[in-house]
Amino acid sequence: MSGTYISCDLTDISQNDLENYCKENNINNHVNKFHTTIYSSLTNNTIFVPNNKNYIGIFSHFNIFSMKNGQNCLVMVIDCPDIIKRHQELIIEPDKIKYMHHITLQYNINDKNINYPKFTKNIYFQKEKKEIFIK
């Protein structure tokens, strides 16, 4: 059986803005290419057709997510009603995990510090893409 992962990349401008922010605030070990998850499910979404829509989000707050390997990651939670709407359009079977629109900034963090300055720039997303994974 296979599942579905649908994501959206940041534009080059937003990618650079976020890389600079991480550097200025000593957020190391960040991911190479920032992106956001639009939809992730253990069900294969066979009806997905990528759209050409661009999305604009803004910073909401920081959070710490626990990963399956026992490590923690630092995420920036994003306010973007259009991506939330897109997520809801793609749901075939609701999963048990609550969707929280975010960008992962750093994996394998030891502390749970989320006291970083507010990110003040708009965040621009583009290029929906789909990956199939085997469960």
pLDDT value at residue 94? 64
Assign residue 132 a region (left: φ > 0; alpha: ψ between -120 and 50; beta: otherwise): beta
Q: What is the pLDDT of residues 71-130, one digit of tens each?
A: 899 999 999 999 999 988 888 766 656 778 899 999 888 878 899 999 999 999 998 988
Q: What is the pLDDT of residues 14-71, one digit of tens each?
A: 999 999 999 999 998 667 789 999 988 877 877 888 888 999 999 999 999 988 788 8
Residue 127 · residue 9 · CB < 8 Å? yes
In degrees and rounded to multiples of 5, residue 10 shows phi and psi of: -85, 155
Report the 10 Å Cβ neighbour count for 125. 25
DSSP-assigned letter for residue 96? S
Q: Domain boundaries in the chain? A: 2-134
pTM: 0.86
At the top level of CATH, the class of 2-134 is alpha beta
Q: Label residues 80-103 b or e (16+ Cβ within 10 Å = b).
A: beebbebbeebeeeeeeeebebbb
